[in-house]
Amino acid sequence: MLVNKASINAAFVALKTLFNNAFTTAPSNWEKIAMKVPSSTGSNLYAWLSSFPRMRRWIGEKHIKSLKAFKYTVVNEDFEATVEVDRNDIEDDLLGVYAPQAQMAGYSAKQLPDEIIFDVVNAAFISPCYDDQYFFDTDHPVGDQSVSNKGTKKLSIETQALARASYGAARTAMGKFMDEDGRPLNITPTVLLVPKALEDVGRALLTADRLEDGKTNIYKGTAELVVSGRLTSDNAWFLLDTSLPVKPFIYQERKAPVFVQQIDAEADDVFNRKKFKFGAEARAAGGYGLWQTAYGSTGTDA
């Protein structure tokens, strides 16, 4: 093949098509547990998480919700996946060898939010959220009290008592969460998030008529099961309320993943090394939303 501007453009249009097709069809489930927040600068400040407004009876002056001195900032990061294309491969009509790389670049670009969000989940027991406590912690300050959204119980279907002590206790704790005025937040868990190692337990807990001790499964149908191989602990499990406008986790997007290319035949890399390039770029980050919408257990205690 004669290598000229037209043939180079045609070659990379084909690679971009493969990238886009793989991007479109790649699976992704981060949106089941997180919300997308657009970003227009290098970082976002989430001070507003400390003061979410709720309707109340209007008596006298309006009750103004002011932002507290929390400084929770999420800084965007750069992401890329880059592939070199040898000019000789274009001349020799061997561009097909790059098809899998173009497809994997598209697949990886689509799954970038999943990688970011589940990294955030994995670090939630040791990473602070807007109130400067770990996202899953035993002493979140609410008014003059400390509130826990962290447990240690193993997720269990062995007996009704053990199911109550793990999953049931998490549901009860979340249902009791209140705002600083002492008003119930009406948190209702909608998602049970588990690693692959707990998939069978989680599925049985939410679908079986009876538990292993033969007693009625009172938790059947109480949440949607979400299973992720990106969760690094085989024991930890999470109960989430994703029904509110503010969700437990934040995918902050500065620049959505896009196909990029360097196809200038006069570029230094082409002149010196015979190398064109293509790939994907993005700018994004992950963070924590309202801890009140989540409960996490390390699963270390029976």
Q: What is the pLDDT, as a whole number, of residue 4? A: 81
3-state secondary structure 19-86: HHHHHHHCCCCHHHCEEEEECCCCEEECHHHHCCCCCCCCCCCCCCCCCCCCCCEEECEEEEEEEEEE
Q: What is the pLDDT, as a whole number, of residue 67? A: 40
CATH 3.30.2320.10 in the chain: give the residue spans: 140-248+291-301
Cβ 238 vs Cβ 294: under 8 Å: yes
The model scores a pTM over 0.75: yes
For residue 283, pLDDT over 60 is answered with yes
Query: Using 50, 70 and 90 to split pLDDT, how confident is the model at 1?
Result: low
Determine which of 59-73, 131-145, 225-239 has the lowest per-residue pLDDT on average: 59-73
Determine which of 61-70, 74-83, 220-229, 267-276 has the lowest per-residue pLDDT on average: 61-70
Query: Using 50, 70 and 90 to split pLDDT, how confident is the model at 66?
Result: very low
CATH 3.30.2400.20 in the chain: give the residue spans: 5-51+68-123+251-287
Q: What is the pLDDT, as a whole number, of residue 65? A: 43
Rg (alpha carbons) of the chain, rounded to whole number: 24
User: Look-up: residue for tokens 């690693």?
Assistant: 195
CATH dotted code for 5-51+68-123+251-287: 3.30.2400.20
Percent of the chain with pLDDT over 90: 80
Query: Using 50, 70 and 90 to split pLDDT, how confident is the model at 64?
Result: very low
Question: pLDDT tens for residues 161-219?
Answer: 999 999 999 999 999 999 888 889 999 999 999 999 999 999 999 999 999 999 999 99
Of 3.30.2320.10, 3.20.20.80, 1.20.1250.20, 3.40.50.1100, the CATH number of 140-248+291-301 is 3.30.2320.10
Q: What is the pLDDT, as a whole number, of residue 56? A: 57
